């Protein structure tokens, strides 16, 4: 404890001295410039709260960060300035300003700021979501959109997702059938994460998780557990509200062991990814069918074939960077969004019954819902849209950074090198756009009533998430199966606690546990899955 205290004091004194020195130099240069050209009218910086020495406004960013930023916006307006350590930042909390940033100033804000913690988990900032804007990023984006996540490729992946959905339905039904009174207590996040990761493992690496069907009531498969443990360790340690990223001396001394913890988790994750790449490389050498250009080729196989022609571009590190973006973005956010959707449905049983009625009419009770059904289930789509409005997977988006001076909102000057934080969570709950914004009302999206209203769940502009189509189709299929096949109730008979957790994503504070009972109309279909 003494060591940590001394390090913090030294860090504050050291940075305060540097800040004063740099501030004095900036003021001197400004005075000289003003003396040379007094006729120049400077645009004003956005307003902001009073900063403290060294920390700037870091002490105001209580977690969860989207809630802290929303509170500051209520005091300083929809566009305000912050200083995070020595790093300048602006925060946008209105649809109009967010749209301006990602249309009129899209190129200016197309790059990413560098964070020390994020660099450790993103191969030095070389993953698709974290890399700086330029030729390298454009090539990654092209590979992702053309080879990995094209509409055709997503269509080829959906049978794998459907197979995993059927396997989950089978496991949950078996657990319920063996439980007292035919109702099983289910921790949904664990099962949802395994489903998402298993589907991704087969499409990315042609590898199935090794969990046996007999393990329906046990923990995750070893592969899922290994990857999830790594994510659970480093995700809370990264993000724009991490003080460690903004105070260099804390990083150098690693007082709180942040670097050590991140590197240990990342090492396990990278070993996991390297095993997948090595296994697929061996398979490519032994199996000629992998080289025939078929749609069944895994994503790693596609990348390894590209590696043969451009080995200096498609290194194993680059392949791992692309794979970790897919695994982390696909498994974690899909499972989290579906868990929030089920939490909302448990608190609104009338919505759940309405969704089941739609399923019975549109799909029937003689078969499971399929990927082809999902786009035609209008009310299910409304539930997903309303869930994403209330609980966007990345509530403040991934931070952007300006590469040139620009003016936002008509007169607010934003200098080059300024970090941009867009509070999507607050924008989605703006009462000027959404009446009674905190209420769960899927009907908002019926019959095109929400058309033209601003939703930024997957980002916007050049850096918009390329996995949006796959995510929405997967969430629709998984949620559709849970609604169609089972009746649900809260574990204790009361309301589900909707307290939010912390992290770069938006987890629940407490994982959702619910009581699950097979619907009588679907029992024959579920029994058929056991045969």
* Residues flagged as binding site: 465
Three-state secondary structure call for residue 519: coil
E strand segments, 423-512 = 486-490
CA 99 to chain centre: 20
Contact 421, 396 (CB under 8 A): yes
How is residue 37 written in tokens?
A: 């050209």
**Residue appearing with tokens 């289910």:** 186
Residues in binding site for heme: 465
How is residue 222 written in tokens?
A: 């070893």
Three-state secondary structure call for residue 164: helix
Q: Classify 162 in phi/psi space as left (phi over 0), alpha (psi -120 to 50) or beta.
A: alpha
**Residue appearing with tokens 């680059």:** 318
Q: Cα dist. 149→153, 251, 349 in Å?
A: 6, 37, 35
Contact 403, 110 (CB under 8 A): yes
How far is the C-alpha of 139 from the C-alpha of 136, rounded, in Å?
5
Radius of gyration of the chain, Cα coordinates, nearest whole angstrom: 25
> Sign (positive/negative) of CA torsion 338, 343, 344, 348?
positive
Element (H, E) at 145: none
Element (H, E) at 509: none
Contact 130, 138 (CB under 8 A): no
Element (H, E) at 450: none
How is residue 195 written in tokens?
A: 């489903």
Contact 487, 371 (CB under 8 A): no
Contact 424, 395 (CB under 8 A): yes
Cis bond upstream, residue 147 (ω within 30): no
- Other beta carbons within 10 angstroms of residue 86's beta carbon come to 14
């Amino acid at each position: 404890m003494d060591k940590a205290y001394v390090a913090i004091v030294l860090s504050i004194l050291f940075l305060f001295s540097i800040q004063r020195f740099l501030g004095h130099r900036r003021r001197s240069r400004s005075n000289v410039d003003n003396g040379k050209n007094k006729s120049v009218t400077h645009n004003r910086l956005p307003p902001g709260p009073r900063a403290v020495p060294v920390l700037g406004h870091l002490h105001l960013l209580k977690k969860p960060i989207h809630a802290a930023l929303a509170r500051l916006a209520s005091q300083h307006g929809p566009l305000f300035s912050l200083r995070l350590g020595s790093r300048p930042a602006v925060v946008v909390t209105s649809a109009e300003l967010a749209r301006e940033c990602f249309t009129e100033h899209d190129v200016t804000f197309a790059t990413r700021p560098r964070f020390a913690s994020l660099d450790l988990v993103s191969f030095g900032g070389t993953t698709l979501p974290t890399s700086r804007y330029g030729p390298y990023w454009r090539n990654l984006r092209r590979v992702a959109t053309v080879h990995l996540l094209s509409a055709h490729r997503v269509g080829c992946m959906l049978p794998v997702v459907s197979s995993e959905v059927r396997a989950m339905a089978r496991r949950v039904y078996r657990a319920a059938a063996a439980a007292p009174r035919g109702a099983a207590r289910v921790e949904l996040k664990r099962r949802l994460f395994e489903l998402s990761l298993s589907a991704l493992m087969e499409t990315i690496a042609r590898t199935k998780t090794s969990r046996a069907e007999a393990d329906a009531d046990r923990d995750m498969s070893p592969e899922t557990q290994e990857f999830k443990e790594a994510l659970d360790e480093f995700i809370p340690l990264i993000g724009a509200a991490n003080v460690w990223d903004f105070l260099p001396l804390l990083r150098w001394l690693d007082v709180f062991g942040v670097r050590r913890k991140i590197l240990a988790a990342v090492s396990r994750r990278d070993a996991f990814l390297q095993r997948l790449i090595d296994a697929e490389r061996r398979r490519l050498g032994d199996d000629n069918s992998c080289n025939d250009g078929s749609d069944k080729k895994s994503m790693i196989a596609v990348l390894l074939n590209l590696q043969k022609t451009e080995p200096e571009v498609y290194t194993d590190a680059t392949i791992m960077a692309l794979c970790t973006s897919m695994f982390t973005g696909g498994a974690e956010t899909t499972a989290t969004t579906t868990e929030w959707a089920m939490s909302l449905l448990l608190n609104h049983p009338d919505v759940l019954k309405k969704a089941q009625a739609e399923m019975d009419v549109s799909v029937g009770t003689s078969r499971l819902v399929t990927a082809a059904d999902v786009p035609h289930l209008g009310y299910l789509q409304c539930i997903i849209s309303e869930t994403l409005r209330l609980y966007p997977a990345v509530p403040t988006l991934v931070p952007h950074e300006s590469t040139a001076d620009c003016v936002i909102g008509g007169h607010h000057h934003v200098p080059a090198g300024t970090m941009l934080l867009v509070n999507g969570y607050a924008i989605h709950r703006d009462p000027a756009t959404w009446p009674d914004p905190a209420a769960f009302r899927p009907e908002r999206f019926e019959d095109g009533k929400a058309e033209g209203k601003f939703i930024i769940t997957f980002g916007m502009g050049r850096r918009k998430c390329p996995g949006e189509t796959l995510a929405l189709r997967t969430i629709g299929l998984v949620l559709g199966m849970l609604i169609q096949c089972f009746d649900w109730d809260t574990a204790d008979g009361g309301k589900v606690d909707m307290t939010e957790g912390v992290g770069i994503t938006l987890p629940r504070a407490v994982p959702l546990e619910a009581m699950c009972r097979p619907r009588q109309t679907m029992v024959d279909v579920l029994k058929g899955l056991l045969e």
